[in-house]
């Protein structure tokens, strides 16, 4: 318990503090994944039915979110270099509102904002920690969630910022066109993310059913 508690706290702090200093989007997402590992360990340490459900739900939500977030970075990249710098996303909403809206949904889910799957997953983890009275881990989870919210909002603010005329060179590095299949896939991921945030019952019941089947076998 002590070893995993230390790992959980270290993961949350290291991941968020490293991501906080990043202006490279891919590195920001990569470092934040370390923090999300720490969040998952909070439910893992609970070791009860609620903890298992929390870990399962959070993994599904994080898979969808990370796939969508890295997908946006990939589709905006060109053959010369990846669109992974913060300035590449500045004013994105005014050029590609649909892509900016999808990326915003992914970032808000990672931050654990309501009406997203990330919020439900983080709520589940928080509930499992409170249920087993792991107060130190609960406190660190809340504290690090606030830190994470700051750098996610920083990226969102850059996308909605007004661009100035001398930023034309930055626009050229973004992918000039998005195929219908790619756009449809990203839209489905965003809708699925919101659907799980508004109606999480279906996934929760599925997880409980699978767990009951595993116990019976």
Closest to 14 (Cα-Cα) out of 121, 108, 140? 140
pLDDT at 206 over 50: yes
pLDDT at position 171 is 47
Is the Cβ–Cβ distance between 155 and 29 less than 8 Å?
no
pLDDT at position 76 is 85
| Lowest-pLDDT choice from 4-18, 26-40, 81-95 | 81-95
pLDDT at 159 over 70: yes
pLDDT at position 166 is 54
pLDDT at 157 over 80: yes
Could you tell me the pTM of the whole model?
Answer: 0.89
Is the Cβ–Cβ distance between 161 and 95 less than 8 Å?
no
Percent of the chain predicted with pLDDT > 90: 64
pLDDT at position 37 is 94
pLDDT in tens, 99-143: 999 999 999 999 999 999 999 999 999 999 999 899 999 999 999
């Amino acid at each position: 318990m002590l070893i995993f508690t230390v790992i959980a706290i270290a993961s949350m702090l290291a991941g968020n503090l490293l991501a906080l200093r990043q202006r490279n989007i891919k590195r920001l997402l990569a470092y934040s994944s370390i923090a999300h590992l720490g969040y998952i360990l909070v439910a893992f340490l609970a070791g009860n039915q609620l903890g298992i459900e929390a870990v399962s739900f959070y993994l599904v939500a994080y898979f969808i979110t990370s796939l969508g977030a890295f997908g946006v970075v990939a589709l905006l990249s060109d053959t010369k270099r990846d669109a992974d710098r913060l300035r590449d996303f500045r004013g994105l909403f005014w050029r590609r509102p649909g892509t900016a809206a999808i990326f915003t949904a992914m970032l808000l889910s990672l931050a654990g904002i309501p009406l997203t799957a990330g919020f439900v997953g983080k709520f589940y983890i928080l509930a499992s920690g409170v249920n087993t009275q792991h107060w130190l881990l609960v406190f660190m989870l809340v504290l690090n969630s606030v830190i994470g919210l700051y750098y996610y909002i920083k990226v969102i603010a850059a996308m909605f910022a007004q661009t100035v005329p001398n930023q034309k060179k930055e626009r050229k590095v973004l992918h000039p066109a998005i195929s219908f299949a790619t756009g449809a896939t990203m839209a489905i991921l965003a809708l699925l993310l919101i659907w799980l945030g508004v109606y999480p019952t279906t996934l929760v019941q599925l997880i409980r059913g699978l767990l009951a089947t595993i116990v019976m076998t």
